[in-house]
Structure 1
Amino acid sequence: MKKVFLIVLVTVCMMRLQPVALAQEVSKLPRSTPELEGVSSAGIIDFINAADTSGLENHSFMMLRHGKVIAEGWWEPYGPDYKHVMFSASKTFTATAVGLAVSENRLKVTDKIISFFPYSLPDSISEYMKGMTVKDLLTMSAGQDPEPSAWSANGDWMTLFLSTAPKYKPGTVFKYNNMATFMLSAIVQQVTGETVFNYLMPRIFKPLGIRGIDWDLNPQGISMGMIGLRLRTEDLAKFGQLLSNGGVWNGKQLIPKEWIKEATAFQIKNSDEPEEKRILSDWGQGYAYQMWRGKNNTVRLDGMGGQFVVLIPDKDAIVVFTANNTNTQKQLDLMHKYLIPAIRSDKPLAPAPALQAEMAKKAAALGITPGFEKSVASGLEKSVSGKEFILSENENKIQSVYFSFKNGDCTFAIKRDNAVSSIKAGGKEWLVSNTLSASLLAPPRTNFSKSVDANYSILKPVIKLAAKYAWTDEKSLEITGRFVEETLGSETIVCKFLEQNNEVRVTIEPKTPARSGRGPGNQQPVVLRGAMVNL
């Protein structure tokens, strides 16, 4: 059964009936109903209907009004307890670290970039680079075109950036630049002696009750800054509410109010489109400090694929999305068309329990389909269940695979280096397994370069995999997996069985690769071939 977790408190009385449960969730945002906060449940229903039929792949949404969650949903297999890759939504947290360092008099936005890295300076520095400031990095106006890329660089990332001469005078032209954000992270680490992740932990993450998170490091041990942060939907909502509150949380000023005002304001023009086109785009309204200005006077955290935290100051509202979309303007247009107009008043609306029940019912039907059609019956299922297939030598160093079918579920096991690892895939429901690999067939990662929220070393961090399977024809088994905390999309392998000369053989190959959450590209597909062992 497809489902999405939706929490809508129908009455305030329900809150009073559950004091113990609420006491255990002190780190969660307060909940309310749409109508109590002046929002129409009907408008949210319209949004859910539109999102479900839009052809978009949404993973979660959360809507806040007056600081309270009024609707939230996760498309299965995604859920409230799973972190999600943020991609460039990470950038706003890096900018916040800069703001905090400024407030602690560790740097100024007018400081020159080259002043922070005396040991990383290249032999020659262009005049434009000499004049580049922290603010130029914050506003994506470093002027480099093309931007430097460090993905294949083994040396000093700061040197690489500093040796790339800007094409335009810094501060004058908007050019999106991931390495500019990395440099902000490096600057914070240079002036504080801590990674951005560790610096933000006692100042932002812990006060907001955001725990069990991580942020990727570059080879030099610096928080990536530009990408690499993984947070839950509610973690994002908390941060959005902190910004909306002017930096105040539980009566304490965590971020200076003036910094938030400056960081969310229009700083630089970011589009040369004609006015009639620009006004239709959420990427044409200007850029702030590592945030985008949008339509309806919105400002947002923005990550590839549709990772958004949208502040709607005119309505005292926040909308959070996680997703895997290419047409992210279409995704935001659903918010502009349905969610923002659903905000009707600053006062409570008439109670609407029937609409709230309908909203919950529709939400319960939401989920992500695995990409294959209805499973067919296969006589081979019984024949191969419990059997081992010895594979020919392959690049993934898999010695053998094993299939087992029981009660409508499939166990798929891999033997590598004489050690066996297995996952479970559901025939009807997504089943979640803990693995050490971020791929169905590739070897486990051996390099875990993360800043981890723990007081001990995580030697082999657990990777969450949700999987489904289906027989697409009598001899073809497909297994689809979603590494819900590591990548955006799905990964599917096809196992084709062939009976010949009293022998059952299998060919296993990728059908769709997972969309990477860590840097560029996907590995070339590896085709596996083997024969069943008759015991």
Structure 2
Amino acid sequence: MIKREHIKALESVIKRDHENITGMIIQQDGQMVYEGYADGYQANSAVHVASVTKSVFSILIGIAIDKGYLQSIDQRVLDFFPDYKVLPGEETIQKITIRHLLTMTAPYKYETEPYEKFFTCENPVDAALDLLGGHKPIGVFHYAAIGGPQILSGILTNVTKQHILDFANQHLFLPLGINVPKDITLRSQAEHIAVMNDKLTRGWVADPQGINTASWGLFLTPSDMMKIGQLYLDGGLWQGDQLVSASWIDESTREQSRCTQWGDIGYGYLWWLIDENSFAAMGDGGNVIYVNVKSKSVIAITASFMPNAQDRIALIKKVIEPMLDVIE
């Protein structure tokens, strides 16, 4: 166990600088060494984990490849939407592949992503396709918070002929013991705000077409996130079953592109690369699944939404990881 004085110091830092954290689990060598909750949240309280959803969706793409639904991530995006009408003169969109969406290296016809368009339109996949391409170069990192991943949702739906949540439950969530029971439909801004602040919400947001959102909208507990992190630490193996191939995990957490929009950080397949030993799924407000392969540790943090939340990776690096070096 972590020494009591170190736990006290950690909780003091959280209370002072990270007040929107609702839950945290720290695990090392497969053993839980810390678990804590705050602000009325308990172990079974799920939280909207925002863009952590992207990394979870990356796993589903890997499973789809493992099971033969997808041949390769180098398949062209438009191959999966044969009825989509390309405008005359549009050439770039015809060259964009699944790989470009996974590595955030697809170009778009905007300078600032039109969030309101995606949240209010009837068909977000089509809206995202309409914005894909343009005159910018392919292969340059450009973070697409909503649109690019939603195209991946459309692709997964088309190739599996399954509802995404059904596919995820069958191949990932239920084997891990993760409870994502239903679609969440948001019909207004008021519903959106109410759901995000409800400690009892469980599920996954689906768009008006019934397609679960790949970029946001998944509600998980710290324990759920811990399981996903441990799955990746263990090369896709869970209780003797290979849920996703080790090769997919290796490729997902290897540098495939590099983000210079916010500092200078490597990017895999919808996973952030922290350093040579660690990678993370990160979501707005400071939701994190952090995996360090050298120390064999996983850290899961849930948080309620808060603009400009303190840097969780800094918390992990400066406060938590030094504690792991002195476990009794």
Q: Please indicate, yes or no, whether the TM-score normalized by the shorter chain is above 0.5.
A: yes
Identity %: 24
Task: Using structure 2 for the length normalisation, give the TM-score.
Answer: 0.85
The one-letter code matched in structure 2 to 1:259 is: W
1:143 to 100, 107, 128: 107
Please say if 1:120 is aligned against 2:109.
no
Q: CA deviation at 1:212?
A: 4.6
Structure 1 residues 59 and 89, CA, compared in 2 at 3 Å: closer, same or farther? same
Structure 1 residues 133 and 55, CA, compared in 2 at 3 Å: closer, same or farther? closer
Q: Which residue of 2 is the match for residue 211 of structure 1?
A: 179
1:317 to 282, 287, 297: 297
Larger relative helix fraction = 2
The one-letter code matched in structure 2 to 1:163 is: D
Runs of 4+ in 1 over 6 A off after TM superposition: none
- 8 Å Cα contact 2:74/2:99 also seen in 1: yes
Q: Which stretches in structure 2 are left out of the alignment for 5+ residues?
A: 182-202
Q: CA deviation at 1:200?
A: 1.3
Once residues 269 and 87 of structure 2 are traced to their aligned partners in structure 1, the CA distance between those partners, rounded to angstroms, is 31
Q: Which residue of 2 is the match for residue 304 of structure 1?
A: 284
Q: Which residue of 1 is the match for residue 314 of structure 2?
A: 333
Structure 1 residues 136 and 206, CA, compared in 2 at 3 Å: closer, same or farther? same
Task: Using structure 1 for the length normalisation, give the TM-score.
Answer: 0.53
Structure 1 residues 56 and 297, CA, compared in 2 at 3 Å: closer, same or farther? farther
Q: CA deviation at 1:42?
A: 3.4
SS in 2 for 1:262: helix
The structure showing larger relative contact order (alpha-carbon pairs under 8 Å, at least 6 residues apart) is 2
Please say if 1:246 is aligned against 2:235.
yes
- 8 Å Cα contact 2:237/2:243 also seen in 1: yes
1:55-93 Cα offsets, whole Å, 9 max, x none, are: 632111110001111111110311111111111111112
Please say if 1:257 is aligned against 2:241.
no
SS in 2 for 1:320: strand
Q: Which residue of 1 is the match for residue 259 of structure 2?
A: 270
Please say if 1:157 is aligned against 2:124.
yes
SS in 1 for 2:23: strand
Q: CA deviation at 1:125?
A: 6.4
Moved more, 50-59 or 320-329: 320-329
Once residues 261 and 285 of structure 2 are traced to their aligned partners in structure 1, the CA distance between those partners, rounded to angstroms, is 23
1:226 to 215, 229, 237: 215
Q: Which residue of 2 is the match for residue 42 of structure 1?
A: 5
Once residues 197 and 125 of structure 1 are traced to their aligned partners in structure 2, the CA distance between those partners, rounded to angstroms, is 37
SS in 1 for 2:134: coil
Structure 1 residues 171 and 96, CA, compared in 2 at 3 Å: closer, same or farther? same
Please say if 1:168 is aligned against 2:136.
yes
- 8 Å Cα contact 1:142/1:166 also seen in 2: no
Structure 1 residues 114 and 49, CA, compared in 2 at 3 Å: closer, same or farther? same
RMSD: 2.0
Structure 1 residues 248 and 90, CA, compared in 2 at 3 Å: closer, same or farther? same
Q: Which residue of 1 is the match for residue 266 of structure 2?
A: 286
- 8 Å Cα contact 2:52/2:288 also seen in 1: yes
Q: Which residue of 2 is the match for residue 179 of structure 1?
A: 147
Once residues 247 and 55 of structure 1 are traced to their aligned partners in structure 2, the CA distance between those partners, rounded to angstroms, is 31
Structure 1 residues 245 and 55, CA, compared in 2 at 3 Å: closer, same or farther? closer
Structure 1 residues 150 and 248, CA, compared in 2 at 3 Å: closer, same or farther? same
Once residues 90 and 163 of structure 2 are traced to their aligned partners in structure 1, the CA distance between those partners, rounded to angstroms, is 28
Once residues 135 and 19 of structure 2 are traced to their aligned partners in structure 1, the CA distance between those partners, rounded to angstroms, is 37
SS in 1 for 2:259: coil
1:129 to 72, 76, 93: 93
- 8 Å Cα contact 2:103/2:141 also seen in 1: no
Structure 1 residues 49 and 295, CA, compared in 2 at 3 Å: closer, same or farther? farther
Once residues 222 and 57 of structure 1 are traced to their aligned partners in structure 2, the CA distance between those partners, rounded to angstroms, is 30
Q: Which residue of 2 is the match for residue 406 of structure 1?
A: none
SS in 1 for 2:322: coil
Once residues 136 and 74 of structure 1 are traced to their aligned partners in structure 2, the CA distance between those partners, rounded to angstroms, is 38
- 8 Å Cα contact 1:185/1:195 also seen in 2: no
Structure 1 residues 68 and 125, CA, compared in 2 at 3 Å: closer, same or farther? farther
After TM superposition, list the pairs within 5 Å mapping 1:495-506 onto structure 2: none
The one-letter code matched in structure 2 to 1:286 is: G
Once residues 313 and 338 of structure 1 are traced to their aligned partners in structure 2, the CA distance between those partners, rounded to angstroms, is 18
SS in 1 for 2:170: helix
Q: CA deviation at 1:171?
A: 2.2
Once residues 219 and 124 of structure 1 are traced to their aligned partners in structure 2, the CA distance between those partners, rounded to angstroms, is 29
Q: CA deviation at 1:140?
A: 1.0
SS in 2 for 1:173: coil
Q: Which residue of 2 is the match for residue 440 of structure 1?
A: none
The one-letter code matched in structure 2 to 1:191 is: V
1:106-130 Cα offsets, whole Å, 9 max, x none, are: 2210000001011233444621100
The one-letter code matched in structure 1 to 2:168 is: L
Q: Which stretches in structure 1 are left out of the alignment for 5+ residues?
A: 1-32, 35-39, 279-283, 350-535
Q: CA deviation at 1:334?
A: 1.8
